[in-house]
Structure 1
Amino acid sequence: MLAPAQTPFDAFVFDMDGTLTDTEAVWDDIRRDLAARHDRPWPDGATQAMMGMSTPEWSSYLVETVGLPGTPEEAAQETIDAMVEQYHRDLTLVPGAVAAVRRMAAERPIGLATSSPRVLITAALDEMGVTDLFGATVSTEEVAAGKPAPDGYLRVCQLLGVDPTRCAAIEDSTNGIRSALAAGMTVIALPPHFHPPAQDVLDRCAAVIGSLDELTEDLLVQISPRSTTASTTAPKEDTHP
């Protein structure tokens, strides 16, 4: 382990969907299926709009914008029940997820800020076998506003007892990146093939990586504000498919 003075960043915070669990497309498939079963067309931009929203936000969107019958609470329950079933059937992880969590946890406190509800946080981290490594986990349904608002990340940092400006986060989505940036954190992007962020959003990140295998101490030292040799341009690559 690095000595405290050498350890870049006081804490590290992970997103979950699309960063640790390969589930962004699963969320989309389930929501689209729900709309189709109620004969509701899928609006342009709906997929991107809901990425990062908290449960109350996306369930209201399903009712008010997509046009599902019933209440947001009913739409949320139906969607989450289908997600839980999928998790138990086959939870697909992003390659290198468990190893990346263990690498980061070996050097500093780690947290999780996700739009997924608490039941899915518990299921995913248990499946990965890393629950005990996280000092704090927050669902954006537990704070005032979901991503791109900074509330979830700020709450995680508060629970970890660290200054957000001395922390790094890894995100895959546009709303997630904007959320961590709004919290004042240094952001590493892991763009997915499923609706990757636009280049102007990626340009605001300290680094853009192509896989979790690239999430190492060497990278964090390079992008850390404490490093006199840090460069905000060298780590970045265009990883768009």
Structure 2
Amino acid sequence: MSIEAVVFDLDGVIIDSEEVWEEVRRGYVAEHGRAFLPDTQDRMMGMSTAEWSAHLADEVGVPLPAARVAADVLDRMARRYEQSLPLIPGAVETVRALGERYRLALASSSARVLIDKVLETAGLTAEFEVTLSTEEVPRGKPAPDVYLTAVRALGLTPEVCAAIEDSSNGLRSAGAAGLAVIAVPHGVYPPAEDALAQASLVVDSVTRVTPEAVAALR
């Protein structure tokens, strides 16, 4: 059995946006007189829009409905991307190199509006057969829903697909879905050991995810 498709995460794999997300959400919370809980940042990595906005409203205590929190934060993120898209060096080239040999999908916790903006700006829209936001499935990462849905949309099974992830919840999600998992740990937000154990391959840069490295997974 060999790999037929590669499913990319977006944040932390193609764009180095985790620090932008943290800065924007911390600033927004502070403006409303609140502060992150000790585990807020770790918990939100991988959550869907509905999940993280509910966390900020219901648990952190931002005094607005979750839907308003989501709209406000996403608007700020979109404006930041318009100013400067934080592409990870070599990520665009890696996507295109893998696309010459494998079918490609994207499974992201970002909102649809941000996924589309990033891919269009980076010139990668046509590289992916399937793109999914966790907004579009019942549960966000670490649940396997977004990966299982992406694989089904490709008409494949998890056994012939690989995932590229950076975060704890992303690694757990891809592992729970049964894909071969490649970890590209983020230097500032490293994954937990139990999540990293899901990976068949751990690399220090997305540029090391070559077609040959993917082929060796199965």
Give the TM-score range, shorter chain. Answer: over 0.9
Mark the structure with the bigger radius of gyration: 1
Q: Please report the RMSD computed on the Cα atoms of aligned residues, expressed in angstroms.
A: 1.1
Q: Choose from 97, 112, 116 the match for 2:110.
A: 116
What SS does structure 2 have at the residue aligned with 1:223?
coil
**Where do 1:176-195 residues align within 5 Å?**
176-195=170-189
Cα offset, 1:213, TM superposition: 1.5
Contact conserved, 2:3 with 2:217, CA < 8 A, in 1? no
Q: Distance in 2 between matches of 1:37 and 1:20?
A: 30
Matched pairs, number: 218
Match of 1:161 in 2: 155
Q: Letter of the 1:129 partner, please give it.
A: G
Q: Distance in 1 between matches of 2:99 and 2:214?
A: 13
Contact conserved, 2:7 with 2:163, CA < 8 A, in 1? yes
Q: Letter of the 1:11 partner, please give it.
A: A
Contact conserved, 2:158 with 2:179, CA < 8 A, in 1? yes
Q: Distance in 2 between matches of 1:18 and 1:220?
A: 19
Q: Distance in 2 between matches of 1:185 and 1:40?
A: 39
Q: Deviations over 1:196-218 (max 9, x none)?
A: 11233212210000111211122
Match of 2:76 in 1: 82
Q: Letter of the 2:51 partner, please give it.
A: E
What SS does structure 1 have at the residue aligned with 2:216?
helix
Q: Choose from 186, 190, 197 the match for 1:203.
A: 197
Q: Deviations over 1:85-136 (max 9, x none)?
A: 0010001111111011001110121000001011101100011101011000
- TM-score under structure 1 normalisation? 0.88
Gap runs ≥5 in structure 2: none
Q: Choose from 80, 92, 95 the match for 2:89.
A: 95
Contact conserved, 1:19 with 1:170, CA < 8 A, in 2? yes
Q: Choose from 53, 64, 67 the match for 1:70.
A: 64
Q: Distance in 2 between matches of 1:35 and 1:99?
A: 36
Cα offset, 1:164, TM superposition: 1.1
Runs of 4 or more above 4 Å deviation:
none
Gap runs ≥5 in structure 1: 225-241
Identity of aligned residues (%): 44
Contact conserved, 1:95 with 1:211, CA < 8 A, in 2? no
- TM-score under structure 2 normalisation? 0.97
Q: Distance in 1 between matches of 2:53 and 2:36?
A: 14
